[in-house]
C-alpha cells in the first residue's frame, strides 16, 4: 500500500489530527485513537458527529449498477480525456486524492494508466458510502481507501499534489485546504443535456442540468474541455443500470420508472465537462 518504511497512512486521525500508522487490522494514531480496517480493505474514518444528516452515500444497488455500466466502457471517452489531463500534471510520488471515488472505476483506471506510463503516484480515496468502498477495494490494493466526507477530509493541510472530484459533492474549501499551493484539482461534471433521451423516456417534462459557476475562489481554471456524444444502449439491463446509478432513481415515481422496463434499446446523449483548476 504505502512503501514508506513506517507504514504511515495517507490519512490523519479524524479525532486529533495526528498521523496514522498502519497496522494489519487498523489505523492508529499516537494518541491511541484506533480505526478498524475492514476485511475488504477500507478504513472507516467518519465520525458520527461529522455528518449532520444521515448521508450514507450511494447504496448497494446504485454501486452495483454503476459498476456494471462503467465496466462496459460507455464512459471510456471521458476516462481517456481524464488520463491525458492527469498525465500532464502527475509525477512519481505525487499524492493524489480522489474525493467521492464511488467504486473506484476512475481511481483504479487512472492509477493503472499512470503506472503503465512509468509514473507511480501515491493514490488514496474517500467516499461516504461503505458499499462503494467494498467494491472499490477489490479494484486495486495499492490505493488506500477511507470512509469520510468530502466536506471534512481526514487529510493534512497542504499535503496533496492533485485531487479528483468526479460527479461527486464539491467541497471546494476543503479541497483548497488539503491541496499544496499550485496543486491541481480535476473535476468532471454532467453538462446540460447529459442523458437527455433517457430523461425524455422517463419524464413528461425533463429538465436540463443547471451548471454551477465554473470559476472557483482560490483557484485558476487552467483547462476546460467538453465531450458531447451519443451512445447506443443495446439492452434493457444497460438502460436500467445507467438510470439506477444516478440520483434520478430515488427521485422518480414507480410509475415513471416503469416506462423503462419496456425499452429494449436506446440512443442517448452523454455530455461531460472536464475542468482543471490550479490552486493559487
Ligand atoms: C455519482 S457518484 C460518483 C462516484 C465516482 N466518482 C464515479 O464517478 O464513478 C457520487 C459519489 O459521491 C458519494 N458521496 C455523496 N456524498 C458524499 C460526501 N459528503 N462525502 C463523500 N462522498 C460522498 C456517493 O456515495 C457516491 O459514491
Ligand atoms: Zn488521534
Q: pLDDT tens across 83-111, in order?
A: 999 999 999 999 999 999 999 999 999 99
Domain contains 29: yes
The predicted structure's pLDDT at residue 49: 74
Q: Is the pLDDT of residue 6 over 80?
A: no
As for how many domains the chain has, the answer is 1
Among 122, 116, 118, 111, residue whose Cα is nearest residue 86:
111
Q: Is the pLDDT of residue 2 over 90?
A: no
User: Tell me, what CATH number does 38's domain have?
Assistant: 3.40.50.150
pLDDT in tens, 121-174: 999 999 999 999 999 999 999 999 999 999 999 999 999 999 999 999 999 999
Protein residue whose Cα sits closest to atom 17 of ligand 1: 128
How many angstroms is it from 197 CA to the middle of ligand 2? 50
The b-or-e profile of 214-225 (16+ CB within 10 A means b, else e) is eebeebeeebee
Phi, psi of 229 (to 5 degrees): -140, 170
d(CA 62, CA 247): 9
> Domain range for residue 144?
8-279
- Closest-lying ligand 1 atom to the alpha carbon of residue 98: 6
Closest ligand to residue 27's CA: 2
How many angstroms is it from 17 CA to the middle of ligand 2? 6
Top mutation candidate among 74, 102, 148, 178 for ligand 1, by most atoms within 8 Å of CB: 102
pLDDT in tens, 193-217: 999 999 999 999 999 999 988 999 9
Q: Is the pLDDT of residue 3 over 70?
A: no
Protein residue whose Cα sits closest to atom 19 of ligand 1: 149
- Closest-lying ligand 1 atom to the alpha carbon of residue 129: 25
CB 233 within 8 A of CB 201: no
- Closest-lying ligand 1 atom to the alpha carbon of residue 58: 25
Residues with CB under 6 A from ligand 1: 55, 57-58, 66, 100-102, 105-106, 126-129, 132, 149-151, 166-169
Q: Is 127 helix (H, G, I), strand (E, B) or coil?
A: strand
Domain contains 3: no
Domain contains 189: yes
Instruction: Output the nine-digit C-alpha cell for 229.
Output: 456524444
Top mutation candidate among 53, 57, 242 for ligand 1, by most atoms within 8 Å of CB: 57
Amino acid at each position: 500500500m504505502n512503501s514508506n518504511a513506517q507504514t504511515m497512512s495517507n490519512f490523519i486521525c479524524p479525532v486529533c489530527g495526528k498521523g496514522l500508522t498502519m497496522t494489519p487490522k487498523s489505523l492508529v494514531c499516537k494518541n491511541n485513537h484506533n480505526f478498524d480496517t475492514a476485511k475488504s480493505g477500507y478504513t472507516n474514518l467518519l465520525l458520527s458527529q461529522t455528518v449532520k444528516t444521515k448521508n450514507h452515500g450511494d447504496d448497494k444497488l446504485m454501486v452495483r449498477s454503476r459498476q456494471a455500466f462503467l465496466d462496459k466502457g460507455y464512459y471510456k471517452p471521458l476516462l481517456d480525456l481524464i488520463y491525458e489531463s492527469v498525465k500532464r500534471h502527475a509525477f512519481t510520488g505525487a499524492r493524489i486524492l480522489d474525493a467521492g471515488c464511488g467504486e473506484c472505476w476512475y481511481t483504479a483506471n487512472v492509477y493503472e494508466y499512470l503506472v503503465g506510463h512509468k509514473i507511480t503516484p501515491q493514490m488514496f480515496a474517500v467516499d461516504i458510502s461503505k458499499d462503494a468502498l467494498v467494491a472499490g477495494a477489490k479494484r486495486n490494493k495499492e490505493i488506500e481507501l477511507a470512509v469520510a466526507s468530502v466536506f471534512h477530509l481526514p487529510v493534512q493541510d497542504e499535503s496533496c499534489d492533485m485531487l479528483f472530484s468526479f460527479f461527486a459533492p464539491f467541497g471546494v474549501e476543503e479541497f483548497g485546504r488539503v491541496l499544496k499551493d499550485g496543486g491541481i484539482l480535476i473535476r468532471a461534471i454532467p453538462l446540460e443535456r447529459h442523458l437527455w433521451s433517457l430523461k425524455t423516456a422517463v419524464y413528461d417534462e425533463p429538465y436540463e442540468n443547471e451548471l454551477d459557476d465554473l470559476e472557483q475562489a482560490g483557484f485558476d481554471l487552467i483547462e476546460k474541455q467538453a465531450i458531447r456524444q451519443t451512445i447506443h444502449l443495446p439492452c434493457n439491463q444497460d438502460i436500467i443500470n445507467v438510470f439506477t446509478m444516478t440520483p434520478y432513481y430515488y427521485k422518480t415515481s414507480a410509475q415513471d420508472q416503469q416506462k423503462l422496463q419496456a425499452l429494449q434499446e436506446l440512443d442517448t446523449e452523454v455530455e461531460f465537462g472536464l475542468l482543471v483548476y490550479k490552486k493559487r
